[in-house]
Structure 1
Amino acid sequence: MSDDLGKPPPGAAADWTVPQRWESYTPEDHATWDRLFDRQAQLLPGRVTPLFLQGLDLLRLSKPGIPDFEELSERLMKATGWQVVAVPGLVPDSVFFDHLANRRFVAGNFIRRPDQLDYLQEPDIFHDVFGHVPLLANPVFADYMQAYGRGGQRAAAAGAIDRLARLYWYTVEFGLIRAGSGLQLYGAGIVSSFSESRFALEDPSPNRIGFDLKRVMRTRYRIDDFQQTYFVIDSFEDLLDQTLNNDFGPIYAQLSEAADIGTEEVLATDHVYHRGTQDYARAKLAT
């Protein structure tokens, strides 16, 4: 999503959707998807929440080649009432929220080049579909995503998009979930990344802190590298409960005068699962 976009590009509908044109993908495109899929499929078991793997199986995403959105949406609709719609790239915030509020997930219809396997600035079909869609087959997480879309519409009216964007970033994109005495991945930005799938759980550098709604909304984030802090939820049920049962209006008002929290900061009030060394971030700054 982005608030810096104007009218839909040529060929896009008023809601920014475009045909996926599955038949136009080249053999190289399908091979790139398969290569990305195979290495994540080997890496994620034991690291990712089992609910993600259940979604992969339910939606048959292990089938070779780039998924056909029409077939994928048919299976997803039966599971949770969601569908996947193609867009040419980033879409305006208002469009993004409207789609989520109506149980439509927007996905880029392009795939990265073979020389971009490990980093792509703009989300492509692998990030959007492999990273996000499996958990949309989980009824609780699917409800959370719809609630987020509706919350986004209210946040726009309140001038609080930045606060809500941080919630999306630290849950939907880069969230961790408690699993017994350990932690597991669920955020799409992590599970679709070969290197961050290991960094987020195993590297000593980042902080891993218990989720707190107001704390998350005050915390800045990195858009150009690994995160310096990850937030840990107890369960999808708890995340949904905090979203549905909180009136964000008073929270936005309360936070309007609150200072931002740095990406690396740890507060005395935090539930700290792991206090990071920040060695990775410091090394990057030194280069």
Structure 2
Amino acid sequence: MEGSLCDLPAGLRGDYAAAGPDFTLPQDWAAYTPADHATWRTLYARQAALLPPHAATAYREGLARLDFTAGVPDFAEATARLRAATGWSLVAVPGLLPDDAFFAHLAARRFPVTRWIRRPEELDYIVEPDIFHDAFGHVPLLTQPDFARFLEAYGQLGDAAARIGALKPLARLYWHMVEFGLIREGGAIRAYGAGILSSSAETLHATTGAAARRLRFDLRRVLRSDYFIDHLQPTYFVIDDFSKLFGAMRDLPAQLAAARDAAPIPPGAAAPGDQPIP
């Protein structure tokens, strides 16, 4: 099954006409302007200042290993470091991808990264994911072996989920545990999700905000939990170790159909069996 632009929202910013059948295109690193690199450095400096008390150790170690400080990263250089760590590579894409194209890349240990960077007036919020969200937010954790295996296994389940009409619960797993996941380290709550770590407001809200609900990771609960796409999240799920996240993939095929047929849990709502983490 090939992806189609018909599967994507209208009005996306990326240059989809230049992309190949798998939605990849050259990064063309030399085309980034001094203003683009300045925007990256501004975003990087702001987010990096929040990392020591708020970001997971594995994320911070991965970011240091990749060394994204100077400006917009070169995917070829980052890929060389990722392949040495976990066998993953980066591919440039115009932006959001159809589900099947996205799953195919993950299943082959290729992480799609949006080529363009946000404008200076969009430093605080951007509707579409850009290169800063994708590269700064997602890529450092691809150096963590258990998380890298989890993401590969996630991609491999995409076709099966589509065949049984269970893409919605599968998307919830990605949203809560890849974009907005938390981990407990030494009794403290740390963020590893890209949607958290690429946003200063979300970083503080998720890890220390009094209004946020933090629940112990439960696969069944996650697969039923709806979410906001344009507000701070009211509920986050917390793992104790990345190996537990990868281990949950063994149960995922059996849980997808049940989650598909169950009533969704609204964002921020409580559910029987919830285990809050102080």
TM-score (norm 2): 0.93
- After the TM superposition, which residues 1-287 of structure 1 pair with which residues of structure 2 at under 5 Å, given as runs? 4-5=7-8, 9-62=16-69, 64-243=70-249, 245-248=250-253, 250-274=254-278
CA, structure 1 residues 215+247, in 2 after alignment: closer, same or farther (shift >3 Å)?
closer
* SS, match of residue 277 in structure 2: strand
CA, structure 1 residues 29+256, in 2 after alignment: closer, same or farther (shift >3 Å)?
closer
CA, structure 1 residues 255+3, in 2 after alignment: closer, same or farther (shift >3 Å)?
farther
In structure 1, distance between residues paired with 2:6 and 2:155: 15
Q: Which runs of 5+ in 2 are unaligned?
A: 10-14
* SS, match of residue 226 in structure 1: coil
CA, structure 1 residues 111+210, in 2 after alignment: closer, same or farther (shift >3 Å)?
same
In structure 1, distance between residues paired with 2:105 and 2:245: 20
In structure 1, distance between residues paired with 2:201 and 2:6: 29
CA, structure 1 residues 30+257, in 2 after alignment: closer, same or farther (shift >3 Å)?
same
**Which one-letter code corresponds to 2:215 in the other structure?**
I
The answer (yes or no) to whether the contact 2:88–2:110 under 8 Å persists in 1 is yes
TM-score (norm 1): 0.90
The answer (yes or no) to whether the contact 2:168–2:260 under 8 Å persists in 1 is no
In structure 1, distance between residues paired with 2:202 and 2:18: 35
Query: How far is the alpha carbon of 1:79 from its aligned partner?
Result: 1.1
In structure 2, distance between residues paired with 1:240 and 1:40: 27
In structure 2, distance between residues paired with 1:33 and 1:25: 11
Between Structure 1 and Structure 2, how many residues are aligned? 270
In structure 2, distance between residues paired with 1:223 and 1:94: 21
Query: How far is the alpha carbon of 1:40 from its aligned partner?
Result: 0.9
Query: How far is the alpha carbon of 1:247 from its aligned partner?
Result: 4.9
* SS, match of residue 16 in structure 2: coil
Query: How far is the alpha carbon of 1:152 from its aligned partner?
Result: 1.6
The answer (yes or no) to whether the contact 1:3–1:93 under 8 Å persists in 2 is no
**Which one-letter code corresponds to 2:8 in the other structure?**
L
In structure 2, distance between residues paired with 1:102 and 1:15: 12
- Structure 1 residue aligned with 2:12: none
In structure 2, distance between residues paired with 1:256 and 1:30: 43
Identity %: 49
* SS, match of residue 156 in structure 1: helix
The answer (yes or no) to whether the contact 2:25–2:93 under 8 Å persists in 1 is yes
**Which one-letter code corresponds to 2:165 in the other structure?**
G
The answer (yes or no) to whether the contact 2:93–2:114 under 8 Å persists in 1 is yes
Query: How far is the alpha carbon of 1:268 from its aligned partner?
Result: 3.4
In structure 1, distance between residues paired with 2:32 and 2:260: 46
In structure 1, distance between residues paired with 2:210 and 2:185: 19
The answer (yes or no) to whether the contact 2:147–2:246 under 8 Å persists in 1 is yes
